[in-house]
Protein backbone atom coordinates (compact mmCIF):
# COMPACT_ATOMS: atom_id res chain seq x y z
CA UNK A 1 0.00 0.00 0.00
CA UNK A 2 1.04 3.60 -0.50
CA UNK A 3 2.39 5.26 2.61
CA UNK A 4 2.17 9.00 3.24
CA UNK A 5 5.00 9.23 5.74
CA UNK A 6 6.06 12.86 6.02
CA UNK A 7 5.25 16.48 5.36
CA UNK A 8 7.40 19.48 4.59
CA UNK A 9 6.40 23.09 5.09
CA UNK A 10 8.44 25.58 3.12
CA UNK A 11 8.41 29.06 1.67
CA UNK A 12 8.43 29.34 -2.10
CA UNK A 13 9.92 32.82 -2.55
CA UNK A 14 10.87 33.29 -6.23
CA UNK A 15 14.18 34.96 -5.33
CA UNK A 16 15.25 31.70 -3.62
CA UNK A 17 14.81 29.92 -6.95
CA UNK A 18 16.66 32.70 -8.74
CA UNK A 19 19.55 32.39 -6.25
CA UNK A 20 19.80 28.67 -7.12
CA UNK A 21 19.45 29.28 -10.86
CA UNK A 22 22.11 32.00 -10.92
CA UNK A 23 24.64 30.35 -8.62
CA UNK A 24 24.25 32.86 -5.77
CA UNK A 25 23.57 30.47 -2.91
CA UNK A 26 27.02 30.93 -1.34
CA UNK A 27 26.92 34.73 -1.48
CA UNK A 28 26.75 36.37 1.98
CA UNK A 29 23.11 37.42 1.53
CA UNK A 30 21.94 33.90 0.69
CA UNK A 31 24.39 31.60 2.49
CA UNK A 32 22.65 31.62 5.91
CA UNK A 33 19.40 30.58 4.24
CA UNK A 34 20.91 27.82 2.14
CA UNK A 35 23.01 26.51 5.04
CA UNK A 36 19.75 25.62 6.74
CA UNK A 37 18.50 23.85 3.63
CA UNK A 38 21.45 21.40 3.72
CA UNK A 39 19.93 18.98 6.26
CA UNK A 40 16.60 19.10 4.39
CA UNK A 41 18.29 18.08 1.16
CA UNK A 42 20.09 15.27 2.99
CA UNK A 43 16.75 14.13 4.40
CA UNK A 44 15.22 14.17 0.92
CA UNK A 45 18.10 12.12 -0.47
CA UNK A 46 17.93 9.61 2.36
CA UNK A 47 14.16 9.16 2.31
CA UNK A 48 13.72 9.19 -1.47
CA UNK A 49 9.94 9.59 -1.68
CA UNK A 50 8.50 8.14 -4.89
CA UNK A 51 5.84 10.82 -5.11
CA UNK A 52 5.52 14.28 -3.60
CA UNK A 53 2.20 16.10 -3.49
CA UNK A 54 3.06 19.79 -3.65
CA UNK A 55 0.41 22.14 -2.27
CA UNK A 56 1.12 25.58 -3.71
CA UNK A 57 -0.53 28.54 -5.28
CA UNK A 58 -0.35 29.81 -8.81
CA UNK A 59 0.67 33.46 -9.18
CA UNK A 60 -1.16 34.56 -12.32
CA UNK A 61 0.71 31.99 -14.41
CA UNK A 62 -1.55 29.02 -15.20
CA UNK A 63 -4.72 30.78 -14.03
CA UNK A 64 -5.77 34.38 -14.46
CA UNK A 65 -8.89 36.17 -13.26
CA UNK A 66 -10.71 34.40 -16.08
CA UNK A 67 -10.74 31.17 -14.08
CA UNK A 68 -10.23 30.99 -10.32
CA UNK A 69 -10.49 27.41 -9.05
CA UNK A 70 -10.10 27.06 -5.30
CA UNK A 71 -8.46 23.61 -5.39
CA UNK A 72 -6.95 22.04 -8.53
CA UNK A 73 -5.14 18.73 -8.80
CA UNK A 74 -2.80 18.06 -11.72
CA UNK A 75 -3.33 14.62 -13.27
CA UNK A 76 -1.09 15.10 -16.33
CA UNK A 77 2.02 13.14 -17.31
CA UNK A 78 4.11 16.28 -16.99
CA UNK A 79 3.95 19.95 -16.14
CA UNK A 80 6.05 22.62 -17.85
CA UNK A 81 7.72 25.45 -15.92
CA UNK A 82 5.68 28.62 -16.54
CA UNK A 83 6.86 31.88 -18.07
CA UNK A 84 6.16 34.40 -15.31
CA UNK A 85 7.57 37.29 -17.29
CA UNK A 86 11.27 36.39 -17.24
CA UNK A 87 11.02 33.36 -19.52
CA UNK A 88 10.49 29.94 -17.88
CA UNK A 89 12.90 28.85 -15.11
CA UNK A 90 15.51 26.50 -16.52
CA UNK A 91 14.58 23.61 -14.26
CA UNK A 92 13.57 20.07 -15.18
CA UNK A 93 10.07 19.42 -16.46
CA UNK A 94 7.92 18.22 -13.57
CA UNK A 95 6.81 14.60 -14.05
CA UNK A 96 3.39 13.75 -12.69
CA UNK A 97 1.92 10.54 -11.35
CA UNK A 98 -1.38 10.37 -13.26
CA UNK A 99 -2.53 7.08 -11.77
CA UNK A 100 -2.20 8.16 -8.16
CA UNK A 101 -3.46 11.66 -8.97
CA UNK A 102 -6.62 10.31 -10.62
CA UNK A 103 -7.12 7.92 -7.72
CA UNK A 104 -6.93 10.84 -5.29
CA UNK A 105 -9.32 12.96 -7.39
CA UNK A 106 -11.85 10.16 -7.53
CA UNK A 107 -11.58 9.50 -3.83
CA UNK A 108 -11.84 13.22 -2.99
CA UNK A 109 -15.01 13.68 -5.01
CA UNK A 110 -16.63 10.62 -3.45
CA UNK A 111 -15.60 12.23 -0.15
CA UNK A 112 -17.48 15.42 -1.14
CA UNK A 113 -14.37 17.43 -2.06
CA UNK A 114 -15.24 18.56 -5.58
CA UNK A 115 -11.70 19.05 -6.78
CA UNK A 116 -10.96 20.68 -10.13
CA UNK A 117 -8.95 18.35 -12.38
CA UNK A 118 -6.20 19.66 -14.67
CA UNK A 119 -4.26 17.81 -17.35
CA UNK A 120 -2.37 20.74 -18.74
CA UNK A 121 -1.17 23.29 -16.21
CA UNK A 122 2.13 25.15 -16.35
CA UNK A 123 3.69 25.34 -12.89
CA UNK A 124 5.29 28.50 -11.57
CA UNK A 125 7.73 29.29 -8.76
CA UNK A 126 5.10 28.26 -6.20
CA UNK A 127 5.79 24.64 -7.14
CA UNK A 128 9.30 24.67 -8.61
CA UNK A 129 11.04 26.68 -5.86
CA UNK A 130 10.18 24.11 -3.14
CA UNK A 131 11.65 21.43 -5.43
CA UNK A 132 14.83 23.50 -5.79
CA UNK A 133 14.97 24.00 -2.02
CA UNK A 134 14.65 20.28 -1.32
CA UNK A 135 16.54 18.84 -4.34
CA UNK A 136 18.98 21.57 -5.46
CA UNK A 137 19.77 21.31 -9.21
CA UNK A 138 19.36 17.74 -10.44
CA UNK A 139 19.15 16.79 -14.13
CA UNK A 140 15.70 15.39 -13.42
CA UNK A 141 13.60 15.85 -10.29
CA UNK A 142 14.15 12.73 -8.15
CA UNK A 143 10.44 12.08 -7.56
CA UNK A 144 7.11 12.22 -9.30
CA UNK A 145 5.08 15.30 -8.37
CA UNK A 146 1.34 15.77 -8.00
CA UNK A 147 0.54 19.49 -8.07
CA UNK A 148 -2.26 20.68 -5.80
CA UNK A 149 -2.90 24.31 -6.62
CA UNK A 150 -4.88 26.44 -4.14
CA UNK A 151 -6.35 29.89 -4.74
CA UNK A 152 -4.94 32.28 -2.15
CA UNK A 153 -4.78 35.39 -4.36
CA UNK A 154 -8.47 36.13 -4.82
CA UNK A 155 -10.04 36.77 -1.42
CA UNK A 156 -11.47 34.69 0.11
CA UNK A 157 -8.99 31.85 0.17
CA UNK A 158 -10.29 28.57 1.56
CA UNK A 159 -10.46 28.35 5.36
CA UNK A 160 -7.83 26.59 7.43
CA UNK A 161 -10.44 24.08 8.57
CA UNK A 162 -11.25 23.24 4.96
CA UNK A 163 -7.59 22.92 3.98
CA UNK A 164 -6.99 20.64 6.96
CA UNK A 165 -10.00 18.49 6.05
CA UNK A 166 -8.73 18.29 2.46
CA UNK A 167 -5.42 17.02 3.82
CA UNK A 168 -7.28 14.34 5.76
CA UNK A 169 -9.20 13.31 2.64
CA UNK A 170 -5.98 13.13 0.62
CA UNK A 171 -4.43 10.96 3.32
CA UNK A 172 -7.40 8.60 3.19
CA UNK A 173 -7.05 8.31 -0.58
CA UNK A 174 -3.30 7.65 -0.44
CA UNK A 175 -3.79 5.04 2.31
CA UNK A 176 -6.14 3.14 -0.01
CA UNK A 177 -3.86 3.16 -3.04
CA UNK A 178 -2.74 -0.44 -3.63
CA UNK A 179 0.77 0.10 -5.00
CA UNK A 180 3.73 0.33 -2.61
CA UNK A 181 4.67 3.98 -2.90
CA UNK A 182 6.43 6.27 -0.49
CA UNK A 183 4.54 9.57 -0.55
CA UNK A 184 5.41 12.92 1.00
CA UNK A 185 3.38 16.13 0.97
CA UNK A 186 4.76 19.66 0.84
CA UNK A 187 2.74 22.63 2.08
CA UNK A 188 4.27 25.77 0.65
CA UNK A 189 4.12 29.56 0.85
CA UNK A 190 4.79 32.14 3.51
CA UNK A 191 6.07 32.71 5.99
CA UNK A 192 5.12 36.24 7.06
CA UNK A 193 5.43 38.72 4.23
CA UNK A 194 3.62 41.54 2.56
CA UNK A 195 4.54 42.46 -1.00
CA UNK A 196 1.95 45.16 -1.61
CA UNK A 197 0.98 48.63 -0.50
CA UNK A 198 2.51 51.08 1.94
CA UNK A 199 2.84 48.28 4.52
CA UNK A 200 5.11 46.23 2.19
CA UNK A 201 7.92 44.49 4.02
CA UNK A 202 5.94 43.40 7.07
CA UNK A 203 7.60 40.50 8.91
CA UNK A 204 6.20 38.92 12.06
CA UNK A 205 8.84 36.61 13.44
CA UNK A 206 6.88 35.80 16.61
CA UNK A 207 3.87 34.72 14.56
CA UNK A 208 6.05 32.54 12.35
CA UNK A 209 7.95 30.82 15.17
CA UNK A 210 4.70 30.10 17.03
CA UNK A 211 3.29 28.74 13.78
CA UNK A 212 6.26 26.38 13.35
CA UNK A 213 6.00 25.30 17.01
CA UNK A 214 2.28 24.60 16.82
CA UNK A 215 2.50 22.44 13.70
CA UNK A 216 3.45 19.68 16.13
CA UNK A 217 2.25 21.11 19.48
CA UNK A 218 -1.16 22.59 18.72
CA UNK A 219 -2.23 22.18 15.10
CA UNK A 220 -5.87 22.88 16.03
CA UNK A 221 -4.94 26.46 16.92
CA UNK A 222 -3.43 26.92 13.47
CA UNK A 223 -6.37 25.32 11.70
CA UNK A 224 -8.67 27.90 13.29
CA UNK A 225 -6.65 31.02 12.43
CA UNK A 226 -9.14 33.27 10.58
CA UNK A 227 -8.08 34.86 7.33
CA UNK A 228 -8.20 38.36 8.79
CA UNK A 229 -5.65 37.32 11.42
CA UNK A 230 -3.28 36.03 8.73
CA UNK A 231 -3.73 39.29 6.81
CA UNK A 232 -3.14 41.51 9.81
CA UNK A 233 -0.45 39.50 11.58
CA UNK A 234 1.50 37.73 8.84
CA UNK A 235 0.94 40.20 5.99
CA UNK A 236 -1.37 40.08 3.02
CA UNK A 237 0.78 37.47 1.27
CA UNK A 238 1.63 35.62 4.49
CA UNK A 239 -2.00 34.50 4.30
CA UNK A 240 -0.85 31.77 1.91
CA UNK A 241 0.39 29.84 4.97
CA UNK A 242 -3.12 28.41 5.13
CA UNK A 243 -1.82 25.96 2.49
CA UNK A 244 0.42 24.37 5.13
CA UNK A 245 -2.81 23.17 6.75
CA UNK A 246 -3.42 20.78 3.84
CA UNK A 247 -0.01 19.25 4.52
CA UNK A 248 -0.66 19.08 8.26
CA UNK A 249 -4.06 17.48 7.75
CA UNK A 250 -2.53 14.71 5.69
CA UNK A 251 -0.20 13.69 8.54
CA UNK A 252 -0.94 11.73 11.69
CA UNK A 253 -2.28 13.66 14.69
CA UNK A 254 1.09 13.02 16.36
CA UNK A 255 4.13 14.10 14.38
CA UNK A 256 7.84 14.41 15.06
CA UNK A 257 9.70 17.50 13.94
CA UNK A 258 12.94 16.32 12.33
CA UNK A 259 14.31 19.61 10.96
CA UNK A 260 13.53 23.30 11.12
CA UNK A 261 15.04 26.41 9.61
CA UNK A 262 13.92 30.02 9.81
CA UNK A 263 15.61 33.01 8.26
CA UNK A 264 14.82 36.65 7.52
CA UNK A 265 14.99 37.92 4.85
CA UNK A 266 14.60 36.13 1.56
CA UNK A 267 13.83 39.11 -0.63
CA UNK A 268 10.64 40.53 0.98
CA UNK A 269 9.79 37.45 3.03
CA UNK A 270 10.51 35.45 6.11
CA UNK A 271 11.64 32.02 4.93
CA UNK A 272 10.70 28.96 6.94
CA UNK A 273 11.20 25.26 6.45
CA UNK A 274 10.05 22.37 8.62
CA UNK A 275 10.07 18.60 8.16
CA UNK A 276 7.48 16.57 10.05
CA UNK A 277 7.29 12.78 10.13
CA UNK A 278 4.41 10.69 11.36
CA UNK A 279 5.26 9.56 14.89
Partner 1 sequence: MRKDREYSDIPGTYVFDPHHSRMGYRLNMFCMSLNQEANRDEFRADPAAYLDRFPMTVEQRAAVENRDWVGMLRLGGNIYYTFKIAIFDGLTMQGVGGKMSGVSEAQFKQMMIDGGRPPEGNRFEHEWGAESSNNCTDSKGA
- Which residues are tagged catalytic? 125, 193
DSSP 149-160: EE--SSSSPPPH
CA atoms within 13 A on the CB side of 200: 6
- CA distances, 198 to each of 20, 61, 173, 229, 272 (Å): 30, 25, 44, 19, 24
Binding segment for partner 1 (CB under 8 A), chosen from 3-11, 33-41, 108-116, 150-158, is 150-158
Could you say which residues in the range 63-82 bind partner 1, by CB under 8 A? 64-66, 82
Do residues 210 and 221 touch, judged by C-beta distance below 8 A?
A: no
For partner 1, give the closer residue by CB, 239 or 251. 239
Number of residues that bind partner 1 (CB under 8 A): 46
83 touching partner 1, by CB under 8 A: yes
Could you say which residues in the range 101-140 bind partner 1, by CB under 8 A? none
32 touching partner 1, by CB under 8 A: no
26 touching partner 1, by CB under 8 A: no
153 touching partner 1, by CB under 8 A: yes
* The binder of partner 1 chosen from 59, 97, 103, 248 (CB under 8 A): 59
Do residues 192 and 209 touch, judged by C-beta distance below 8 A?
A: no
Closest distance of CB 38 from partner 1, Å:
22
DSSP state of 138: -
Residue 160 contacts by C-beta under 8 Å, 6 or more apart in sequence?
Answer: 222, 223, 224, 225, 242, 245
Cα–Cα distance, 54 to 79 (Å, whole number): 13
What is the binding site for partner 1 (CB under 8 A)? 14-15, 59-61, 64-66, 82-87, 153-156, 192-207, 227-228, 231-233, 236-237, 264-265, 267-268, 270
Amino acid sequence: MANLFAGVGTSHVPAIGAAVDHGKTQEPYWKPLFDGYGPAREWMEKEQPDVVIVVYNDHASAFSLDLIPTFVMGVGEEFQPADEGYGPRKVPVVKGHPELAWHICESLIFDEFDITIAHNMPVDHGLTVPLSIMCDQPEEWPCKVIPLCVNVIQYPAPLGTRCYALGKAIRKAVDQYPEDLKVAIFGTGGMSHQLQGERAGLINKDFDIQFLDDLSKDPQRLVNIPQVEYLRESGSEGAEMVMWMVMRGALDDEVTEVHRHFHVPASNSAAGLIILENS
